[in-house]
């Protein structure tokens, strides 16, 4: 028997001191939402969906409400989900303004396609019961101000931080992972990061479940999540594997960030090469914790 667990992150970066408590509380509430699914008999896939949806609805993070904007000020969303037991996976990239992209990925989990992009992705979502909303509904004042600083004043876009993700485990050791993001602030239209790419920013199998955050291009070039899973599969201690892989992304692929990882029997693992990464977890004994 495994201990059921939901572990979430609210993005690696440098959250201002004044906002850190709110970011931590957002993670606690998201983990709790995932935990409610598990404790009432729901699946790990539904647990990560619920947890990520709570983070998407929270304007503090760069996903759903409050997401980063393209260079032309538009919403363009990336998300993915993966079931460790079946290895079913679904990603949508450069999606139009939908309130909870992770729910669309959840709906697509058993479709034959693994990745849909751009307008056809948005059309698939509409055909499957999801409604676009005006972009203003996902665009906060804070995001618009940051967009101005990056696009009009030349501030470094760096990466927006605040990409969100969750991993979950049930009592049988089944795993799942999900990630959602608005990408980098001021990004080129059509730019896709690591989050919706299975094996880069999101991955789950029977060995581990991973969700990453950070400079997407570096996580893509390093094929981060799949290589991390293989390191654990071939005997590396999970926490050490996570640290080594993130340092490798930083030192060999020129990108900082963070990630969360669990295995069928591990503690929750979180590591970052940035100033910080808000995260939180739920277990039956620990009813929601946020950092």
Active site residues: 163
| Among the listed residues 40, 33, 42, 48, the one whose alpha carbon sits nearest the alpha carbon of residue 81 | 48
- CB 200, CB 156: distance < 8 Å: no
Examine residue 214 and tell whether it contacts ligand GLY (CB under 6 A).
yes
Shortest distance (Å) from residue 11 CB to ligand GLY: 8
In the complex with ligand GLY, the residue whose CB is nearer, 32 or 92, is: 92
DSSP state of 92: E
- The secondary structure element, H or E, covering residue 262 is strand 257-262
Quick note: the x/- pattern for ligand GLY over 216-255, rule CB under 6 A, is x---------------------------------------
In the complex with ligand GLY, the residue whose CB is nearer, 45 or 192, is: 192
- The secondary structure element, H or E, covering residue 133 is none
Query: Helices (DSSP H) in the chain: which residue ranges?
Result: 17-39, 44-57, 101-108, 118-127, 141-151, 216-221, 224-233, 238-253
Shortest distance (Å) from residue 192 CB to ligand GLY: 8
| Among the listed residues 256, 233, 261, 254, the one whose alpha carbon sits nearest the alpha carbon of residue 246 | 256
Examine residue 35 and tell whether it contacts ligand GLY (CB under 6 A).
no
Examine residue 213 and tell whether it contacts ligand GLY (CB under 6 A).
yes
Shortest distance (Å) from residue 22 CB to ligand GLY: 21
Residue numbers 136-195 binding ligand GLY by CB under 6 A: 159, 163, 181, 183-184, 193-195
In the complex with ligand GLY, the residue whose CB is nearer, 32 or 93, is: 93
Shortest distance (Å) from residue 195 CB to ligand GLY: 5
> Would you call 164 helix, strand, or coil by DSSP?
strand
In the complex with ligand GLY, the residue whose CB is nearer, 179 or 283, is: 179
Rounded Cα gap, residues 269 and 231, in angstroms: 15
Neighbour count for residue 245 (Cβ, 10 Å): 26
Total binding residues toward ligand GLY, as defined by CB under 6 A: 12
In the complex with ligand GLY, the residue whose CB is nearer, 70 or 266, is: 70
In the complex with ligand GLY, the residue whose CB is nearer, 184 or 266, is: 184
Q: Under 8 Å CB-to-CB from 106, ≥6 apart: which residues? A: 45, 46, 49, 81, 90, 178
Phi-psi region of 198 (alpha: psi -120 to 50; beta: other; left: phi over 0): beta
Examine residue 211 and tell whether it contacts ligand GLY (CB under 6 A).
no
Where b means 16+ CB within 10 Å and e means fewer, 151-160 reads beeeeebebb
Shortest distance (Å) from residue 228 CB to ligand GLY: 15
Shortest distance (Å) from residue 249 CB to ligand GLY: 11
Binding-site ranges for ligand GLY (CB under 6 A): 159, 163, 181, 183-184, 193-195, 201, 213-214, 216
């Amino acid at each position: 028997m495994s201990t059921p667990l939901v572990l979430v992150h609210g993005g690696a970066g440098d959250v201002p001191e004044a906002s850190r408590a709110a970011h931590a509380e957002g993670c606690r509430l998201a983990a709790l939402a995932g935990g409610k699914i598990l404790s009432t008999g729901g699946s790990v896939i539904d647990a990560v969906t619920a947890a990520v949806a709570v983070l998407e609805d929270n304007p503090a993070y760069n996903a759903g409400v409050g997401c980063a904007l393209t260079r032309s000020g538009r919403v363009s969303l990336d998300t993915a989900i993966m079931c460790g037991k079946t290895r079913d996976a679904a990603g949508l990239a450069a999606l139009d303004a939908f309130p909870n992209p992770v729910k669309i990925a959840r709906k697509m989990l058993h479709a034959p396609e693994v990745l849909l992009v751009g307008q056809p992705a948005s059309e698939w979502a509409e055909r499957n019961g999801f409604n676009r909303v005006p972009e203003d509904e996902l665009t906060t004042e804070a995001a618009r101000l940051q967009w101005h600083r990056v696009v009009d004043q030349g501030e470094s876009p760096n990466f927006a931080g605040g990409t969100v993700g969750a991993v979950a485990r049930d009592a049988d050791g089944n795993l799942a992972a999900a990630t959602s993001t608005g990408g980098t602030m001021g990004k080129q239209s059509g730019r896709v990061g690591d989050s919706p790419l299975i094996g880069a920013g999101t991955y789950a199998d029977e060995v581990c479940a991973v969700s990453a955050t950070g400079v997407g291009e570096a996580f893509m070039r390093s094929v981060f999540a799949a290589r991390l899973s293989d390191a654990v599969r071939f005997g590396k201690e999970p926490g050490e594997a996570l640290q080594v892989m993130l340092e490798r992304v930083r030192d060999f692929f020129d990108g900082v960030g963070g990630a969360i990882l669990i295995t069928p029997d591990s503690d929750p693992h979180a590591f970052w090469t940035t100033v910080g990464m808000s995260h939180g977890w739920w277990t039956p004994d620990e009813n929601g914790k946020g950092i």
